Amino acid sequence: MPELPEVEALARFLSERTAGTRIASITLASLSALKTFSPSLTELAGQRVSGVARHGKFLDLGTDDGLHLLWHLSRAGWVQWREDVPSTPVKPGKGPLALRVAFVSDDGEPTGGFDITEAGTQKRLALYVVTDPSQVPGVARLGPDALSDELTEEAFAGILASAGRSQLKGVLRDQSIIAGIGNAYSDEILHAARLSPFHPCTSLTPSEVAGLYECMRRELTVAIENSVGHGTGTLKAEKKANLAVHGRAGQPCPACGDVVREVSFASSALQYCPTCQTDGKLLADRRMSRLLK
């Protein structure tokens, strides 16, 4: 799933290529992906693009006339930029394509476009056309962005204190608490901070809170720096190449050399280093525990 660094990189990439252009055409291929009906998708055609912004893990293509096309890529969605947009008609319900947008200059010259796609059978990608981003329920529920000036170290400490005995992993991933962090970067942040994903928030010392805050800001900032400048075709590979523990179960920890371990859940998994994060203790893998009963 794309998270804050990749979504930020996509926003910058798309904004550079679309700001000041006009939407020549916009074609829906997945009817179930569109979650709004007014304003209509067709009202975006002909509008001049003001830029592309990010709200948590949502992308927001805005127009000078005040319309916004927002989308959330969910687990299997992606954006693919096309220098030459295919002229063949889009067939609804065929393949991974959900939406195709083409752009032109004021002179009517094609300037490229992008496809929003979703792989797999679990269709969770969501598209919205609104006059205000806050009209999208997922945006309205967002907590402070993980890299916003609003989220100071003091504010972060207050969030953790309010979370009580909730586990760190869950709090970092909760978009209504802190926006932008998902499964992968919560693993990376906790590994950098040398904290267990199951550590209760209220059990943190002040120095651990400060360290976690610093690691959160640093890990996300570095990931953005690594991501910006990559095209939509290479961004996923760049993310994977720079992860220390997430998705690397069974491989050596780059910090200490211990074997990276995994805890599996029904629809996801987390990775951690026992030496760096849990004083050598192996966390119970709930899925395996059930199988052994």
- CA dist 5 and 201 (Å) reads 24
Give the right CATH number for 4-140 from 3.40.50.2300, 3.20.190.10, 1.10.630.10, 3.30.565.10. Answer: 3.20.190.10
Give percent helix, percent strand, percent coil of the chain, each to the nearest 5.
35, 25, 45
Q: What is the mean pLDDT of residues 204-221?
A: 98
Q: What is the pLDDT of residue 291?
A: 37
The CATH classification number of 153-292 equals 1.10.8.50
For the chain, the structural domain boundaries read 4-140, 153-292
Angle at CA 148, nearest 5°, toward 2 and 201?
A: 80
Q: What is the pLDDT of residue 293?
A: 33
Structure tokens at 156: 């972060």
Q: pLDDT tens for residues 86-128?
A: 988 888 877 899 999 999 999 999 999 999 999 987 889 999 9
